[in-house]
Structure 1
Amino acid sequence: MIIDTSAEIIPMLIEHYVEESTTRLENIVQAAQNKDQETLEFETHTLGSTSLALGNHALSLAARKIERLCLEKQYSTAFPLVEELKTLADESINALIIRKNEGFSS
């Protein structure tokens, strides 16, 4: 990513990603609690895309799995996966924050 942009922009991209992902995760957890299938599908799709754009393949795959299950109307399988997604997201976001704080060079 540094090659495609600049080292100075990476921390800003990470901050934006962390803020957006935190909001998405709150929406995903609430959707699961409320059994809101449409919101769960939308939010996991968006989280999957933004995670992939920042190179977080594991989180993207986990989000896309839930999205796919929603598209297939397998909600009883999708809803329980939200807790695992949240744990993975929290761990990856914390790792990104640590990496951001270490700094970047071109």
Structure 2
Amino acid sequence: LMAPLGLKTADLPRQAPQAHVGEAVGVFCVWHAGPDELLLGQRDRHLDFCLWLGVRAGRLHLYTGVRPHHLGGWLYLALVWPFHWLIVRRSLARMAAHCSEAAC
């Protein structure tokens, strides 16, 4: 879905990667890695995107943030926004299935 629009995509790694600030995890750069949270991001010509994953009270929480750079970024955001929850839920389901297979 993302590649035809010029945004980066990646497959899930075979095993859970170690998160080190400044390194890449998939298409995202690790901006912060703490014991119970991870802040990932990607700066693209269309928009900047950040993803926060955190564990609180035994539950995984996810927050996303987007900053469009120009009209193209806003148009992309307008196209994706109605499907955002579906994309996030599918991504989390893929991560959960992958982690159960790889024993993350």
Q: Normalized against structure 2, the TM-score is what?
A: 0.36
Q: Structure 1 length normalisation: TM-score? A: 0.36
Bigger relative CO (Cα 8 Å, ≥ 6 apart): 1
The structure carrying a bigger strand percent of its residues is 2
